[in-house]
Amino acid sequence: MQPLAVKVQVSVSVPFECLFWPEDDSWRGNCAELSLTVRGSNFEEAKKHMEAALDTYIELVRPRIRQNGMPNASNCNKQHAASS
């Protein structure tokens, strides 16, 4: 009997620290780590714009990871196994 393999997409949450502040009649947000800046008419809208910008950034970087491979992927597995 052959082993069963299941292919599924797994989504992960990667937190980024972002700073938001009121400016004129709107709100601005900045993720310094990735050099992303957004604007919204209120805090919630600015936060939603930042979430969308982060999603877009990750989707743009993803093909490069596939092409070049994940750096130290075996180390990630070892660290996860050690913390479990």
Q: What is the pLDDT of residues 21-76, one digit of tens each?
A: 999 999 999 999 999 999 999 999 999 999 999 999 988 888 877 777 655 545 44
- Residue 34: the pLDDT is 93
Closest CA to 39 of 18, 59, 58: 18
Backbone phi and psi for residue 40, each to the nearest 5 degrees, phi listed first: -145, 160
What digits encode the pLDDT tens for the residues 13-30?
A: 889 999 999 999 999 999
CA–CA separation, 53 vs 55, rounded Å?
Answer: 5
What pTM was estimated for this model as a whole?
Answer: 0.69
Sign (positive or negative) of CA dihedral 43, 30, 24, 41: negative
On whether the CB atoms of residues 42 and 60 are closer than 8 A, the answer is no
